Amino acid sequence: MSFQPVLPLQGYIGWRFLERTAEAQQTAFSNSAPIQRATDYFRENIGDVRTASDLVNDRQLLSIALGAFGLDDDINNRAFIQKILEDGTVAQDALANRLADNRYADFSAAFGFGDSPIPRTVLGRFPTEIIDRFEAQQFARAIGEQNNDMRLASNVNSGVADIVAGNATNTGRWFSIMGNAPLREVFQTALGLPNSLAGIDIDKQREVFQERALSVFGTDDVAQIATPKQEEKLIRLFLIRSEANDLAASSAGTTALTLLQSAPRLFA
């Protein structure tokens, strides 16, 4: 893509700049020629798609469809994606429901091939719904090419909103956060939890996430964390702690290199 977001600063200060300029930058991104060509094609042709096979056999349409859910890297996994779509999400043993990453379930449900005799592709509002998601995701992806932490932060609002809308219980929402790799990274870093947490029992992981959220946010209710004030706190903690972790790792690497370089002199 030719459009590059303007990110003159790093960390939380850089995030505040991006917040102030995001609307104008997003508009410029959406109006760029490559994005316009891709979304115009989708809008004009998605209504003719009736089956999962129709979608996966049109690479241009599939690119938009996957890109809307941050699943761009699966563009060549056509058989896998077709199975995800055809299984739907209603059956408990559907493939999307058995995957740890809940973006696949969101993707499958959005198109509805396996959940209803009539797919959602025929709905008048459907192209706009997917294109809006695609443009937001791809703008975040463009940000990520310069700064991945900014990309993760950019997806917090829509990601948490999807989880709240798609799960009736708070327990289910926490499991969904844990199963969404980008969101899990944001929450885990913001809450100061170690990567080793992933190695313990899944129910215990959820308890740890909720206990730490209660301590940090004053609530473990995901719906309450999904308010603008709490999401801003979540993003601030994530960016500050991520930057601190990077600095610590860099410092440790520098110290180790210094020791290695000094070793011959020490033992000479």
Give tens-digit pLDDT for 17-38: 998 998 999 999 999 999 999 9
254 confidence band (pLDDT: 50, 70, 90):
low
Compute the distance between CA of residue 91 and CA of residue 97 in angstroms, rounded to an integer: 8
Domains, the chain, ordered by start: 8-146 (1.10.3700.10), 155-247 (no CATH)
For the chain, how long is the longest CA-to-CA vector? 79
- For residue 259, pLDDT over 70 is answered with no
Give the percent of the chain with pLDDT over 70. 92
Taking the model in full, what pTM does it have?
A: 0.75
φ/ψ bin of 120: left (φ > 0), alpha (ψ from -120 to 50), beta (otherwise): alpha
- For residue 255, pLDDT over 60 is answered with no
Compute the distance between CA of residue 89 and CA of residue 96 in angstroms, rounded to an integer: 7
Give the percent of the chain with pLDDT over 90. 75
Is the separation of the CB atoms in 154 and 143 below 8 Å?
yes
More confident residue, 19 or 210: 210
Mean pLDDT for all residues in the chain:
90
Q: Name residues whose C-beta falls within 8 Å of residue 213's C-beta, 6 or more positions apart in sequence.
A: 187, 191, 219, 220, 225
**What's the pLDDT score for residue 240?**
93
Q: Which pLDDT tens digit goes with each residue over 86-133?
A: 999 999 999 999 998 889 999 999 999 999 899 999 999 999 999 999
In whole angstroms, how far apart are CA 51 and each of 22, 47, 215, 266?
36, 11, 47, 70
